[in-house]
């Protein structure tokens, strides 16, 4: 048997280290985290035994390719070029032509390799999803803004909450409904709002509508349906301030960003600008398998 190459042994050791996180309840996980696993700009995620390798390079290192081909898994390749928004491309193993389910912390999520740049769930929010589920109970209400496929809404609904899922995109709202159904939650018992978060927050505030929990996890840059630009580094304080107007007494906000331009302390300062002085803010760490760059900043805010 030939000796394993340096790169192959880095992959094997990274995957072995994470084995304890993969169990009957979880088959979706980051398996390799770039520089944290001693290989810059290379990331591996598994979704129900289908792998996605992400690289910044347009060329795949030959040893990485050899490792992936020998794995026998169905493997897709994603280029982390900011301007690329395409589907990941099939690299080796079985092709996955339709949507399928993956599981995280006992919750099912629909995954697709044919729906653009993202596959249906951002795995770096795993611990935050657990926190949200634990913070909810029967009859509480949750507002999930910038909801994408509604993963936070599913967790809150499983925790007993009545959820409101808000996104600009109707296809993502439909996906969120399917994610609820995949967990035996009836979407007709929940609310779905299509449109801009700022618009809806102002509307809820005017109506006096309050929520026990609010999720804010916007993209770094976005343009709403009327062309108005949102940038995390310029507008997050306004977002927080509007959200606090829709927060019930004793309510909480989970505020996240993956904006790399902002340090942890920049983000904290920006968020505090939008909050009353009395608010309590706690920083939340990334999941333990993210051993590389600590890019995701999350704050738990009590009003």
Ligand X SMILES: C[S@@+](CC[C@H](N)C(=O)[O-])C[C@H]1O[C@@H](n2cnc3c(N)ncnc32)[C@H](O)[C@@H]1O
Chain positions contacting ligand X, by CB under 6 A: 122, 125, 146-149, 151-152, 166-169, 172, 196-197, 217, 219, 222, 224, 230
Cβ-count burial 23-61 (b if 16+ within 10 Å, e if not): eeebbbbbbbbbebbbbeebbbbbbebbbbbbbeeeeee
Nearest to 290 by CA among 133, 81, 128, 92: 128
| Number of residues written out for the chain | 303
| Of 208 and 227, CB closest to ligand X | 227
CB of 200 vs ligand X, minimal distance in Å: 8
CA dihedral 279, 152, 169, 29 (to 10 degrees): 120
Helices then strands (H, E): number in the chain? 8, 16
Dist. CA 202–CA 217, nearest whole Å: 17
CB of 48 vs ligand X, minimal distance in Å: 18
| Of 47 and 67, CB closest to ligand X | 47
CB of 221 vs ligand X, minimal distance in Å: 9
| Of 64 and 151, CB closest to ligand X | 151
CB of 196 vs ligand X, minimal distance in Å: 4
Ordered alpha helix ranges (H), 29-186:
62-71, 126-135, 151-158, 170-181
| Of 37 and 196, CB closest to ligand X | 196
DSSP 221: E
| Of 71 and 183, CB closest to ligand X | 183
Q: Could you identify the residue written with the tokens 């509480």?
A: 140
| Of 33 and 167, CB closest to ligand X | 167
Contacts of 217 (CB under 8 A, 6+ apart): 125, 145, 146, 152, 254, 255, 256, 257
Q: Residue 63 is encoded by which pair of tokens?
A: 């040893």
CB of 202 vs ligand X, minimal distance in Å: 12
CB of 198 vs ligand X, minimal distance in Å: 7
Report how far Cα 155 is from the mean position of its chain's Cα atoms.
13
| Of 75 and 255, CB closest to ligand X | 255
């Amino acid at each position: 048997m030939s000796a394993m190459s340096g790169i192959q042994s880095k992959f094997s050791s990274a995957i072995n280290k994470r084995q304890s996180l993969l169990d009957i309840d979880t088959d979706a996980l980051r398996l390799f985290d770039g520089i944290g696993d001693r290989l810059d700009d290379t990331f591996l995620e598994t979704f129900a035994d289908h792998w996605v390798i992400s690289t910044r390079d347009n060329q795949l290192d030959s040893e990485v390719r050899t490792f992936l081909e020998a794995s026998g898994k169905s493997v897709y390749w994603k280029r982390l070029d900011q301007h690329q928004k395409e589907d990941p491309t099939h690299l080796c193993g079985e092709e996955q032509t339709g949507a399928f389910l993956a599981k995280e912390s006992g919750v099912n999520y629909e995954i697709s390799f044919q729906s653009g740049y993202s596959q249906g769930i951002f795995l770096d929010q795993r611990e935050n999803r657990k926190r949200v589920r634990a913070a909810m109970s029967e009859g509480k209400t949750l507002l999930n803004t910038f909801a994408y496929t509604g993963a936070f809404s599913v967790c809150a609904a499983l925790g007993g909450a009545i959820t409101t899922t808000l996104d600009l995109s109707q296809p993502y709202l439909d996906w969120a409904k399917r994610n609820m159904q995949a967990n035996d939650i009836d979407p007709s018992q929940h609310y779905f709002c299509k449109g801009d978060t700022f618009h809806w927050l102002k509307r809820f505030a005017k109506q006096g509508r309050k929520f026990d929990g609010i999720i804010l996890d916007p993209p770094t840059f976005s343009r709403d349906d009327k062309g108005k630009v949102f940038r995390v580094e310029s507008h997050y304080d306004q977002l927080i301030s509007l959200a606090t107007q829709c927060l019930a007494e004793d309510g909480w906000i989970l505020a996240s960003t993956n904006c790399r331009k902002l340090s942890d302390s920049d983000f904290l300062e920006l968020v505090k600008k939008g909050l009353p002085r009395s608010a309590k803010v706690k920083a939340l760490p990334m999941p333990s398998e993210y051993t590389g760059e600590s890019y995701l900043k999350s704050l738990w805010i009590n009003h």
